[in-house]
Amino acid sequence: MKPVLIGAAIVGLILLAVHFHPRAYSVAIRQYTVEVPDLPAAFDGFTVLHFTDLHSKQFGEEQRDLIRLISQYEYDIIAITGDVVDRRNPTLAPAMELVHGLDDAEIYFVAGNHDHATGYRQLRDALTGLGVDILDNRAVRVNREDEHIWLIGVDDPSLGLARLDAALKHVTDDLPAVLLAHAPAIYGRAVEEEIDVVLVGHTHGGQVRLPIVGAVYIPGQDLLPEYDRGVFTKEATTMIINAGLGESAVSVRFMCRPEIALITLRQR
């Protein structure tokens, strides 16, 4: 057998083993601390629970396994950055069960490409009915004590629907801002606007990662993508890419566990 065929067979067996190994799909909690210039004192330690790319995936009956995991951590608000449904399985139930189980905090949402492909109006109405604040190219002021920061949300950059200029019209001062978007394609514009923190998903961390190399392929970025998962800093802007909870195209993860992120803001 030729070496290339032997190599392909080995990789195939590894992927098969990982696909059926429970730990490959156990959820990781990744915690990040971001130092923010001019952060109001009341927001020192402010924490955002960020999850993304659920893709209609179920974690126990009525999402109890996921909710039980999240309940072990403290946070101030919840940010959901799109693709809670999957175009292959457009049921709303997994997303609604998760949101219903997390109704102890303010929840903010921006849409992803799969959300738009599966009847976004129905999803939007369902989320709004559960009290979720949908940030379609707009910003809101988040208050704590007598101080505030800004939370900005844009529609999906990967579909060309992000309107950051429109969202920024709601921002009336120079206090720190956190931007929610589905895809890292918004990063360049966020750097231009000197936005402090950007939280995105969409990449799934590549789903298949190799030692040293990292993600092998991400749609829209091709082979060995630059923006796969984790922290990226350029000038005054820090972007955190969440590898998400679900999968698309193929339900395989290799060296890339599903994850939830906790992002804590600190005064510089």
pLDDT at residue 20 is higher than 60? no
pLDDT digits (tens, 9 = 90+) for 180-189: 999 999 999 9
CA–CA gap between residue 57 and residue 89 (Å, rounded) = 9
In the structure, what pLDDT confidence band is assigned to residue 5 with cuts at 50, 70 and 90? very low
Give per-residue pLDDT as tens, 191-214. 999 999 999 999 999 999 999 889
Specify the pLDDT at position 220: 84
pLDDT of 128 over the 90 cut = yes
Mean pLDDT value across the chain: 91
* pLDDT of the residue at 119: 87
Q: Mean pLDDT over residues 97-123, rounded?
A: 95
User: Would you list the domain boundaries of the chain?
Assistant: 27-267
- pLDDT for residue 2: 53
Tokens of 9: 């067979």
pLDDT at 250: 83
pLDDT at 95: 97
pLDDT at 18 over 80: no
Does 171 score more than 90 pLDDT? yes
Residue 21 has pLDDT above 80, yes or no: no
pLDDT band at 17 (very low <50, low <70, confident <90, very high): very low
Q: What pLDDT shows up at residue 23?
A: 52
CATH number of 27-267: 3.60.21.10
Task: Return the percentage of the chain with pLDDT > 90, whole number.
Answer: 82
- pLDDT, one tens digit per residue, over 130-166 is 999 999 999 999 999 999 999 999 999 999 999 999 9
Whether 19 shows a pLDDT value over 80: the answer reads no
* pLDDT at residue 36 tops 70: yes
CB atoms within 10 A of CB 43: 22
Which amino acid, one-letter code, is at 194?
Answer: E
Q: Which residues, in sequence order, are bridge partners of residue 35?
A: 266
- pLDDT tens string 207-254: 999 998 899 988 888 889 999 999 999 999 999 999 999 998 788 899
How confident is the model at residue 248, as a pLDDT?
Answer: 86
Q: Is the pLDDT of residue 259 over 90?
A: yes
Q: Confidence band (pLDDT; 50, 70, 90) for 100?
A: very high
HEC states along the chain? CCHHHHHHHHHHHHHHHHHCCHHHHCCEEEEEEEEECCCCHHHCCCEEEEECCCCCCCCCHHHHHHHHHHCCCCCCEEEECCCCCECCECCCHHHHHHHHHCCCCEEEECCCHHHHHCCHHHHHHHHHHCCCEECCCEEEEEEECCEEEEEEECCCHHHCCCCHHHHHCCCCCCCCEEEECCCHHHHHHHHHCCCCEEEECCCHHHCEEECCCEECEECCCEECCCCCCEEEEECCEEEEECCCCCCCCCCCCECCCCEEEEEEEEEC
